[in-house]
Amino acid sequence: MNLTIQIVGWNSEGSLKRLLPLLQKLDAAIPVRYIDNASSDDSVAVVKQFLPRADIITVSENTGFCSGHNIGFAACDTEFVLVLNPDVEIVWEQVQKLLPLFQDKTIAAVQGKLMRNAVGILDSTGVVQTITLNGKERGAGEKDTGQYNQPAHVAATTGACSIYRTSALRRVAHGTYTTAGHSALEVFDKDFFAYKEDVDLGWRLRNAGFTNQYLPVRVGTHPRAMRTIGRAGWGIIPSHIVDRLRNVTTRWSLRNYVWMIVKNASAKKIFLHEIFIDARLGVFILLSLVYWPLLSVWLDIFQKLPLMMEKRYEARHYHR
């Protein structure tokens, strides 16, 4: 099987102890690569204990989810790569059912059905694009009643558990770079660090003429760390809203949301969705006036807008 399993971890010892026994059972011919982002726990020791055959890359600093995987992509020499979060407990027999879809050469990424827990709550059936051009995990938090039991093209596949065609990744990569002494292939945008990098990648793949596919097979369980409260996960109690604003994931998500639109959205798409985009950004602007630390996110956004425009321009070479 011409596939590499690639995992990025940061202080993931507990999760790895649940995942690695599942990978122990796999054919030894299937390469497993673990990239450790300067963990302070025993993550590396756990990988060596459970999976001594794994290719382990240790990084001297936390380079983030994006650069961690990009280091792995630079070393990847198989036709396909399974990007896997350490907290996903996969069902390998089901994951294998995704591979035949790649007989269609236009398909660049495939994912199956991820569950949030054992009682039938969905985590992801692919990423869809909202009217604000944001990315949303389809079915997240819903009870699985078979409503997503049909194959579907999706805007992107989740970075928690997806198989990518490596030649497609190379086609849309922003280039190569060096981080913490390691060579990296910029498949996930390194400036994103983490969050929405999979949405951005799916968008770039679609802009290049590829498709992203969902197949309704139950490939594993992914217990999300972020808890949702009330409508849109924000709740109606002020303290809940403040907690979300203080959460670094909210800040990164806002920043990366703006950047991926700048990088990928066509003029036509922006025109059709501008009122919804402006409304969403307007809410965050108002929240910034109430919670001043959020202003630093806007500074970060504007500082790198020229770089995002440059990446948008450079992306023209891989459009079909």
Give the per-residue pLDDT at 318.
58
Please give the C-alpha separations between residue 175 and each of 63, 213, 266, in angstroms, as whole numbers: 17, 25, 22
For the cut 90, the answer to whether the pLDDT of residue 198 exceeds it is: yes
Percentage of the chain lying above the pLDDT 70 cut:
93
Q: Which residues face 183 on adjacent strands? A: 178
Q: Where exactly are the structural domains of the chain?
A: 3-221, 231-318
pTM exceeds cut of 0.85: yes
Angle between helices 248-264 and 267-290 (to 10 degrees): 160
Average pLDDT score over residue span 81-87:
98
- Distance CA(44)–CA(35), nearest Å, equals 9
Helix (H) or strand (E) holding 283: helix 267-290
For the cut 70, the answer to whether the pLDDT of residue 298 exceeds it is: yes
Please state the separation of Cα 165 from the chain's center in Å: 15
Q: Residue 314: left (phi > 0), alpha (psi -120 to 50), or beta?
A: alpha
How wide is the angle at C-alpha 288 spanned by C-alphas 287 and 294, nearest 5°? 120
Give the per-residue pLDDT at 127.
98
Q: Is there a contact between 177 and 190 (Cβ–Cβ < 8 Å)?
A: yes
If one compares 1 and 17, the residue with the highest pLDDT of the two is: 17
Give the per-residue pLDDT at 250.
86
Give the per-residue pLDDT at 231.
46
- Distance CA(116)–CA(141), nearest Å, equals 7
Average pLDDT score over residue span 184-191:
98
Give the per-residue pLDDT at 187.
98
Average pLDDT score over residue span 262-274:
97
For the cut 90, the answer to whether the pLDDT of residue 36 exceeds it is: yes
Looking at 2.130.10.10, 3.90.76.10, 3.90.550.10, 1.25.40.10, the CATH number of the domain 3-221 comes to: 3.90.550.10
Give the per-residue pLDDT at 290.
83
Please give the C-alpha separations between residue 4 and each of 54, 55, 318, in angstroms, as whole numbers: 11, 10, 24
Give the per-residue pLDDT at 285.
92
Give the per-residue pLDDT at 224.
77
pLDDT tens digits, 111-163: 999 999 888 999 999 999 999 999 999 999 999 999 999 999 999 999 999 99
Average pLDDT score over residue span 306-316:
91
Which among 220, 185, 110 is positioned nearest to 154, based on CA atoms?
110
pLDDT tens digits, 207-260: 999 999 999 999 999 997 544 444 455 445 555 666 777 788 888 999 999 999
144: three-class secondary structure by DSSP: coil
Give the per-residue pLDDT at 107.
98
Question: Which of the four pLDDT bands, split at 50, 70 and 90, describes residue 1?
Answer: low
Question: Which of the four pLDDT bands, split at 50, 70 and 90, describes residue 317?
Answer: low
